[in-house]
Each structure stands twice: as C-alpha cells, then as structure tokens.
Amino acid sequence: MNIIGIDVSKEKLDCAWLREQDKLKTKAVVNKLLGWQDLLDWSLKNKGLAIAELHFVMEATGIYHEQLATFLYEAGANVSVVNPAQVKFYAQGLGVRSKNDKKDSVVLAPVQHESGNSVKGRAHLSKAGNPIIRAKLYMAAVVAIRYNPDIKAQYERLTSKGKSKMPHSARLCVNWYRFASVS
C-alpha cells in the first residue's frame, strides 16, 4: 500500500503512511511550499518508488488543501481529496472515538484504499436526488462534453486513464446539480 493520508490545517500537515504489515510512519510538516517539498522528498526516500506510484489522500478543508493537492498532482503523484464526512463516519465505524490531527491522517489512508476498486469492485452512481433534474442535467452534460471545449477537455482528462466514461459524465452532472441547488 503506497497511500499517504494527510490531515490538512492552515499551519501544518500531519501525514501518515500505512505500510506493509501494518507499520505506520508519520511526519508533520508546515503547510507551505517548503513543507510540501519535504513531504514529497520523505515519501520518495522512504519507499524508493517513482512519484507516480504514490497516492496522497486528504480531506477537503476549505482552501487549505488546494495548493498542496495541485503541487502533488503537478509533481506526478496520484491525489484524492475526500469528503470529510466520509472520513468521519469511517473512523466511527472503526471505533475511533477521539479526534486529533495524527489520528485523522491515519484514518485517511485506509479510507481511500477501501473506497477504491481494490475492495468493493466498480463504483456505482448514487440515485439520490430528483430523477427528473438528474436526467436533464445528465443530458446537458452529454451535450456539453460534445460541444463545449473546456468541458470536453475536463472529461477527456478524467477518462484518459481507461476508466468508465459514465461516472465522469455523472460527476459533471452532480457538480451542476449542487450548483443549481445552491442558487
């Protein structure tokens, strides 16, 4: 498992790497460019892997995770930003009762491992929400993918790794549905 969980705050990053045989390595760095580079160097040095073989997982924390996620992605790493509620409920399911930054970073690594296709198989779309609105947004996404160059580029980037095309069109719909719900 080459997944590194990162609990992001304004000032620092608490990182946890759950390695083979349940060995855990942790590191805390500042949430600035110097700390991001330190995290990357630590990750590469500890495993001797190429950057593309590492997967960094962090919670969506307002604006504090965005630059780090971009930095790691542009360096060539796999990056996942997960819903904080998913992490919270996963931790509760594990029986983790207390909360601190170090524990959060430890929980993040298995969340990504178990939410991917390695355990549960192919992901399925949620059928939550108004089906009429969902259908209309889906058709709008299909048209946008075909005729809007920006949306088409985003869609091609998402599907370039040989993954199913349906979830990525649906992801565009979900984003539009959320926007429509807020407006």
* Inter-helix orientation angle 131-147/149-159, to 10°: 100
CATH number at residue 108: 3.30.420.40
Number of independent structural domains in the chain: 2
> What does the pLDDT read at residue 173?
57
In terms of residue numbers, what domain contains 38? 3-120
Cα–Cα distance for residue pair 115/104, rounded to 1 Å: 16
Q: Is 11's pLDDT higher than 60?
A: yes
Question: Does residue 101 register a pLDDT over 80?
Answer: no
Same domain flag for 95 and 38: yes
User: What integer pLDDT is reported at residue 159 of this predicted model?
Assistant: 78
Query: Are residues 34 and 42 in contact, defined by beta-carbon separation less than 8 angstroms?
Result: no
92: left (phi over 0), alpha (psi -120 to 50) or beta: alpha
**Minimum mean pLDDT range among 44-48, 60-64, 108-112, 143-147:** 108-112
Q: Is the pLDDT reported for residue 143 higher than 90? A: no
36 and 112 in a common domain: yes
Domain end residue (candidates: 92, 120, 148): 120
Task: Say yes or no: 28 and 71 in one domain.
Answer: yes
130 has a pLDDT exceeding 90: no
Closest CA to 40 of 82, 65, 76: 76
Asked whether residue 76 is assigned to any structural domain, the reply reads yes
Residues 138 and 112 in one domain: no
Q: In this structure, which amino acid lies at residue 147?
A: Y
Residue 115 has pLDDT above 70, yes or no: no
